[in-house]
Structure 1
């Protein structure tokens, strides 16, 4: 047996329609309760505004708290939407803010009902809000009678087919004056809590008759664009995926990846400090702009000018595209809570409409995640929402991730591995007293990628990955050779023969033993010419003029 949800009136509030599976119960009553500043009036007013402006459902607001002129001022927008709807007769504010007069006997709320009936008739309202309805109970001993009148009012509104929303205060985690008992079909609880110095509003659906709904406590935020509720995942996993490959801007890396990365996929570039994560992201941004695409770069550590300056040193001219194809937004996530930061990012993405989004580093978001016990989990939830948001719009995303130790290069504290499509690992490898940067592809879903290790160099000519993939994806790591000579004919033939065989995967150092006899002594060199393979290990030697090309290639491993 499959039960169907009751008919819904969409709220138009980001995320709320998802967790209510369509909105508030149409033709029935919803109660929203919470303490001061939790957002009750805001959500109720946005329900009316979206109803009248988007869904063709005029509305009436009865305010028992704020005077009409204050409400208009509080909800004034750049397009003067509230004022226009009032002027057009699509929204009516019934000002009942003066409260109840002292009673001297029994009474009813008939006058309120008649005022409501007149307002509904004037506007053709399909939505009604009674804001701070619990104020009706203040200063009266006849709370049972008020409760009865409210039950009758809800029945009357339901009978008219009007979708109604009541808002109320919070007393010990429950609605004041036990308002949930007054036959509300949907009850929503709003709270405002603090972790450290960061405050967060949360929403929970206490009950919803005749409908499925989300069961979690959902963070939400109020911005100039309205309220935004954040489910664990922002959208269901039913978005379409692209089969188009986009270039990273580094041809050799594209070959290692099997052709590039899929458009709309999520890419993680991890590494320790100084491994080159920002440089890799910047190269992708530059090449995206060169293709005529738009790129939004969120920098959580450096100002935009500093990134532009630093990247010029390796031939990446980001400044050519700033303001047109490229937007670099620099901000420390700790300046806002996680939800506020995510909302700001989403707003900027919708305004700029990029083809790709870069976040450098995503680990910076954990610092805004609240207490040390919860920050990683909170940051992971933000990452889920952001990647879902981007994938649902077909936006390619690249995130850098700061690894605390080279021993944890293939793990992340935020446990993101299952959420990303391609994972590139940058590391520093020590060889013969030197540190060299290496790159490998840990995973790339749907791609026949290399599993080899490549050496990466950042030069004034750009980012160089030494080597090109050969049959079976041969070794990418830089081959370092040292040839000991004395300038005689044997030495000259050895150098010529070696140069005929090696390619740009090989770094060659030629040592004249006449000038550096101490090095020959230190390395135990006896014969001339002698060729040493220093890297990759183990170290090996061969002597002679290197005229046997096949033997030389076997020695070099190429």
Structure 2
């Protein structure tokens, strides 16, 4: 078997890796990640499994390939120096020289005896060689070598956007497996999906798998599983960072619970959230604040204006992350948040705000992402605050994808009385808690949030 070294792919997509002695077609639109996937297959083969690999390129030069892979943490020059990798450059091949080049190619491969071969791309090969000769090359020349040495070859094919036909329409009939990398559009973002259309000698549980391309290369969406019997339930509470709110919640929020702060712009959602993470960080808990709306300096300035000691907290246990979710899929956002959780292991987490995500994502996809994120949060016993920029009448929360997932909902709004803005708040729901049902007045002062009866 030829494992890719991509953990999720090897465990869940093809449990035993690609079959030895097989030709695998990897097809997809430009930018879908075909070269990255194939490069990862070769790199991990050498680094993790000690198997030699050959990359035959008709698309980019050696220096271009090495540089693009190096940016993803894969050093092919190191593998070449160790005798584990060979790059064969056929970028300048022509119809006049193709027959000679094929002879030299097979001679080079036979001499090196690799366990893994990638041809990028078979589409260009077919353009130069022609349909019939390409079939003969795949079926007899390359196919016989691969089976004789029990190797595995990935053949990259360009698939025009929206087209069903792959390359010249002949490659898929002479290969042992077909892997399609394709796009699905949801509003402003594009979701990447891997589809396994054919795989001889392998049982594929489902045909489609969602993935993203990050600085680590190909990453698949791993649906978290919550083993409820392994989680220790607790009645321990942690502070909201606001004494009056703690009393309204009978001593704070339960450890591992999720809180939704919902209200219009200017109601102080971020200020409530800053109180929460900073107070917990100063009490010795690791805390993370993720903002999709404000840059780092603005978050620090807001906290300092309200007398909240953010810089002291950041010296101790608080980490702040900011990025714009525009053109990012829910899967990318989920994986990035999960990565932060795995690296920093926070006990207190703020995600500010869900509104920014809704503006750039399909709502059903976002709700699915929040469900998966909720499982990760519960499994790690993290107390989390979400903010949502939405008007509320203290009775209905419009975004049901979030409201049904959380344990606590705090509604914030303002009213105009005699020409003055007066803020109101209430706890709309709090599971397993005899919380205050009153509507309270509050103000945002130079000491932060002040709540009154």
5+ residue gaps, structure 1, are 1-6, 370-374, 467-477, 479-558
Provide the rounded CA distance (Å) in 2 between the counterparts of 1:423 and 1:208.
Answer: 47
Deviation of residue 132 (structure 1)?
Answer: 0.9
Give the C-alpha shift of residue 393 in structure 1. 5.0
Q: Are the aligned partners of 2:117 and 2:152 in contact in 1 as well (CA < 8 Å)?
A: yes
Name the SS for the 2:275 alignment partner: helix
Alignment counterpart, residue 442 of structure 2, candidates 437, 457, 478: 457
Distance across 1 between alignment mates of 2:285 and 2:442: 27
SS at match of 1:138: helix
Q: Hey, what does 2:70 align to over in structure 1?
A: 76
For normalisation by structure 1, the TM-score amounts to: 0.67
The separation in 2 between residues aligned to 1:32 and 1:147, in whole angstroms, is 16
Whether the 8 Å CA contact 1:268–1:398 is kept in 2: the answer is yes
Given that 1:64 and 1:98 are in contact with CA atoms closer than 8 Å, whether structure 2 keeps it comes out as yes
Partner residue in 2 for 1:334: 326
* Correspondence 1:148-297 to 2 at 5 A: 148-152=136-140, 153-154=142-143, 156-158=145-147, 160-171=149-160, 172-178=163-169, 179-185=171-177, 187-192=178-183, 198=189, 201-209=192-200, 210-216=202-208, 218=210, 220-229=211-220, 231=221, 234-238=223-227, 240-244=230-234, 245=236, 246-251=238-243, 253-254=245-246, 256-257=248-249, 260-297=252-289
Kindly indicate whether the alpha-carbon contact (under 8 Å) linking 2:294 and 2:322 is maintained by their aligned counterparts in 1. Answer: yes
Sort the Cα spacing of 1:310 and 1:95 in 2 relative to 1 into closer, same or farther, 3 A. Answer: closer
Instruction: Give the match's secondary structure for 1:175.
Output: coil
Q: Distance in 1 between matches of 2:347 and 2:217?
A: 25
Match of 1:424, SS state, is strand
Give SS of 1:274's match: coil
Match of 1:426 in 2: 411
Task: Name stretches of at least 5 consecutive residues in structure 2 with no aligned partner.
Answer: none
Distance change >3 Å, CA 18–CA 79, structure 1 → 2: closer
CA deviations 1:376-400 (Å, max 9, x no partner) are 2233234344444555555443211
CA contact (8 A) 1:277 1:400 kept: yes
Q: Which residue pairs with 1:481 in the alignment?
A: none
Residue 407 of structure 2 corresponds to residue 417 of structure 1: no
Report the 3-state secondary structure (helix = DSSP H, G, I; strand = E; otherwise coil) of the residue aligned with 1:189. Answer: strand
Larger deviation: 331-340 or 169-178? 331-340
| Partner secondary structure for residue 440 of structure 2 | strand
What is residue 132 of structure 1 aligned with on the other side? Answer: 121
Structure 1 CA distance for aligned equivalents of residues 328 and 206 of structure 2: 26
Maintained 8 Å contact 1:9/1:25:
yes
Q: CA deviation at 1:286?
A: 0.8
Aligned equivalents of 2:395 and 2:10: distance in 1?
40
CA shift in 2, pair 1:23/1:310, >3 Å: farther
Look up the SS of the partner of 2:168 in the other structure. Answer: helix
Whole-angstrom CA distance in 2 between matches of 1:388 and 1:48 = 34
Structure 2 residue aligned with 1:440:
427
1:285 shift after superposition? 0.7
Post-superposition Cα deviations, 1:282-312, rounded to whole Å, max 9, x if no partner, equal 1111122112233221223333333333334
Choose from 301, 304, 319 the match for 2:311: 319
Matched, 1:402 2:389: yes
How far off is 1:364 after superposition?
1.0
The residue correspondences of 1:503-518 to structure 2 (distance < 5 A) are: none
Q: Matched residues in 1 for 2:73 and 2:100: separation?
A: 43
Query: Aligned to 1:415, what secondary structure does the other structure show?
Result: helix
The CA RMSD measured in Å over matched residues stands at: 3.7
**1:371-423 CA distances to partner (integer Å, 9 max, x unpaired)?**
xxxx32233234344444555555443211122x3247533336223433x22
Larger Rg: 1
Q: Give, in whole Å, the separation in 1 of the partners of 2:14 and 2:287.
A: 34
Distance 1:8 1:463, change over 3 A: farther
Matches within 5 A, 1:40-119: 40-77=34-71, 81-99=75-93, 101-102=95-96, 111-119=104-112
Distance between the aligned counterparts of 1:414 and 1:30, measured in 2? 44
- Provide closer, same or farther for how the CA distance between residues 313 and 140 of structure 1 changes in structure 2, counting only shifts above 3 A: closer
| Residue 144, structure 1, aligned to residue 132, structure 2 | yes
- Number of residue pairs the alignment of both structures matches: 441
Q: CA deviation at 1:44?
A: 0.7
Question: Is the deviation greater in 32-41 or in 60-69?
Answer: 60-69
1:108 and 1:48 map into 2 onto residues whose CA distance is 22
TM-score of the superposed pair, with normalisation by structure 2: 0.81
CA shift, 1:365, in A, is: 0.8
Aligned equivalents of 1:264 and 1:128: distance in 2?
A: 48
- Partner secondary structure for residue 52 of structure 1: helix
Q: C-alpha distance in 1, partners of 2:48/2:324?
A: 36
